[in-house]
Amino acid sequence: MSMTDALGRIDEIRSTLSQLSGTTAAKAAAATSTASTAGSDAEFASTLSSLTSAASVGTDTAASGGTAADGKVLDAVQKYLGLPYVWGGNDPAQGLDCSSFVQNVYKDLGYNLPRVTWDQMNSGTEVASMADAQPGDLLFSHDGGHVAIYLGNGKAVDAPQPGQTIAIRDAWETDANLTTIRRILPTESAGAAGSAGAASAAGISDLVASARAAQAAMMGSAA
């Protein structure tokens, strides 16, 4: 591949990346902006390396499976971490019990949930098992006497019991000890975000491969 052909391919890659919104496109565009003025094979190879590095970062991020919904739940939880458990408590400044913690988190997210666990257990839609649980799902245990928020990756958060504070922990919940799992966040939103992430990952992966092929061809012709 000649230098002219390779530069033309870089321009195509830059144009495609500019259509994929986010940090990856910005980094890739910046990396390729100097390609047309590269004065040597070494400079050209360096530019291609920057491009593939930026695109690879985007691939890893999109492929991680994170969604906007995941981030919103975690953000909503943050301000309550460290608050003491208070039985019957519903004061975000003084302390909360398990169900008032959940109620406050989802109020911050724009969802009105009942005050107590036995009513919250009828909210949203049922999730069949922990294998199907997604970040934001509510985990009810002890015959509905306790509720926690699942955060994904084997983690949950709750207001546990007197003498302890609201904290993120390893999820000890299993299908055997759970009464029910309820999904409050709309599944279509999470699904759409996941599909968009997967599409971006696939597109960026193709561009990474194409850029690396252009680099190899250019270096081969130079040799």
pLDDT band of residue 59 (cuts 50, 70, 90) is very low
Number of domains in the chain: 2
DSSP H or E run through 223: none
Which of 67-76, 98-107, 112-121, 202-211 shows the lowest mean pLDDT across its residues?
A: 202-211
In the block, tokens 């999820």 appear at 171
β-strand partners of 180: 140
Whether residues 17 and 60 fall in one domain: yes
Where are the strands (E) in 20-83, listed by range?
A: none
Domain range for 136 is 68-185
Whether residues 158 and 52 fall in one domain: no
> Among positive and negative, which fits the CA dihedral 149, 151, 155, 159?
negative
β-strand partners of 125: 183
Whether residues 41 and 133 fall in one domain: no
Distance CA 215, CA 219 (A): 6
CATH number at residue 83: 3.90.1720.10
Whether residues 56 and 72 fall in one domain: no
Distance CA 193, CA 165 (A): 33
Whether residues 56 and 84 fall in one domain: no
pLDDT at 18: 54
Whether residues 132 and 201 fall in one domain: no
What's the DSSP call for residue 29? H
Whether residues 122 and 164 fall in one domain: yes
What pTM did the predictor assign? 0.57
Whether residues 32 and 79 fall in one domain: no
Whether residues 179 and 83 fall in one domain: yes
Enumerate residues 6+ apart whose C-beta is below 8 A from 172.
none
Spell 179-191 as b/e; 16+ CB within 10 A means b. Answer: bebbbbbeeeebe
* The two structure tokens encoding residue 182: 């309820």
Whether residues 114 and 199 fall in one domain: no
Whether residues 79 and 180 fall in one domain: yes
Whether residues 74 and 57 fall in one domain: no
Instruction: For 25-57, write each residue's pLDDT tens digit.
Output: 444 445 445 444 444 555 555 555 555 554 444
